[in-house]
Chains A and B, each alone.
Chain A
Amino acid sequence: MDSLLDTAPCGFVSFTDDGTIFMVNATLLDLLGYQREELQGQHFETILPIASRIFYQTHFFPSLKMQGKLDELYFSLRSKSGIYLPMLINARRQEHAGFITNDCIFITIHKRNEYEDEILRAKKAAEEAIRAKEQANMELAETNALLKAKQLELLQLNNKLEVMATTDVLTGLKNHRSFQDYLTLEINKAAENSTKLSLLLIDIDYFKRINDTFGHLVGDRYLRGIAHLLQQCSTGLGVAARYGGEEFAVILPNMGLVEAVNTAEKFRATIEADPWVEVAVTVSIGVSTLSAKISDKYSLLATADKALYASKARGRNCVTHGCDLMNE
Chain B
Amino acid sequence: MDSQNVITRNNVKILGQGTRPMMFLHGFGCDQNMWRFITPAFADDYKIILFDYVGSGKSDLRAYDPERYGHLDGYAQDVLEICEALDLTNITLVGHSVSSMIGILAAIQQPARFDHMVLIGPSPRYINDLPNYVGGFEQQDIEGLLEMMEKNYMGWASFLAPNIMQNSERPELAQELEESFCSTDPLIAMQFAKATFFADNRTDLAKVSVPSLIMQCAADIIAPLEVGYYLDRYLPHSTLRLMKATGHCPHLSHPEETIELMKEYLTVI
Contact = CB atoms under 8 A, between A and B. Distances in A.
Interface in A1-30: 17-19
Nearest to A54: B145
Given A54-B137, A130-B161, A61 B181 contact: no
Identify which of B150, B152, B179 gathers the most chain A CB atoms within 10 Å of its CB.
B152
A51 B145 contact: yes
Interface string B220-231: 111000000000
Given A55-B145, A62-B30, A63-B29, A18 B245 contact: yes
B27 A58 contact: yes
B247 A57 contact: yes
B248 A57 contact: yes
A92 B161 CA distance: 33
A292 to B, nearest CB: 81
A43 interface: yes
A45 B222 CA distance: 12
Contacts of A58: 27-29, 97, 193, 222, 248
A328 to B, nearest CB: 94
Contacts of B180: 70-72
A72 B248 contact: no
Contact of A57 (B147, B149, B152, B249): B249
A234 to B, nearest CB: 69
B174 to A, nearest CB: 15
A177 interface: no
A53 interface: yes
Nearest to A130: B160
A63 B253 contact: no
A173 B219 CA distance: 99
Given A72-B155, A130-B161, A61 B253 contact: yes
Given A61-B247, A70-B181, A72-B180, A120 B150 contact: yes
A53 B142 CA distance: 11
Interface string B132-169: 00000100011011011111101101011110000000
B89 interface: no
B150 A18 contact: no
B241 interface: no
Contacts of B144: 49-51
B253 A52 contact: no
Identify which of A17, A53, A62, A116 gathers the most chain B CB atoms within 10 Å of its CB.
A62
Nearest to B250: A18
B109 interface: no
A62 B29 contact: yes
Contacts of A61: 247-249, 252-253
Contacts of B28: 58-59
A126 B159 CA distance: 9
Nearest to B189: A59
A108 to B, nearest CB: 15
Contacts of A66: 30, 33-34, 252
A248 interface: no
Given A19-B247, A72-B155, A54 B221 contact: yes
Contacts of A126: 159-160
B261 interface: no
Interface in B71-103: 97
Nearest to B217: A57
A120 B154 contact: yes
Identify which of B29, B33, B137, B157 gathers the most chain A CB atoms within 10 Å of its CB.
B29
Contact of A127 (B149, B161, B219, B247): B161
Contacts of A75: 148, 152
Contacts of A74: 148, 151-152
A314 interface: no
Interface in A115-135: 116, 119-120, 123, 126-127, 130
B182 interface: yes
Nearest to B196: A58
Nearest to A127: B160
Contact of A55 (B30, B33, B149, B247): B149
Contact of A17 (B151, B160, B193, B253): B253
A174 to B, nearest CB: 63
Contacts of B194: none
B36 to A, nearest CB: 8
A19 B253 CA distance: 9
A63 B30 CA distance: 7
A55 B150 CA distance: 12
A73 B182 CA distance: 11
A189 interface: no
Contacts of A119: 154
B232 to A, nearest CB: 21
Interface in B245-267: 245-249, 252-254
Q: List the 6 closest A-B pairs by CB distance, nearest first.
A: A51-B144, A57-B248, A59-B29, A51-B145, A50-B141, A65-B252
13 contacts: A45-B221, A50-B221, A54-B141, A55-B149, A58-B248, A61-B253, A62-B30, A62-B34, A70-B180, A72-B155, A73-B152, A74-B151, A123-B159
Given A18-B254, A53-B221, A127-B161, 4 more contacts: A18-B253, A54-B145, A66-B33, A70-B180
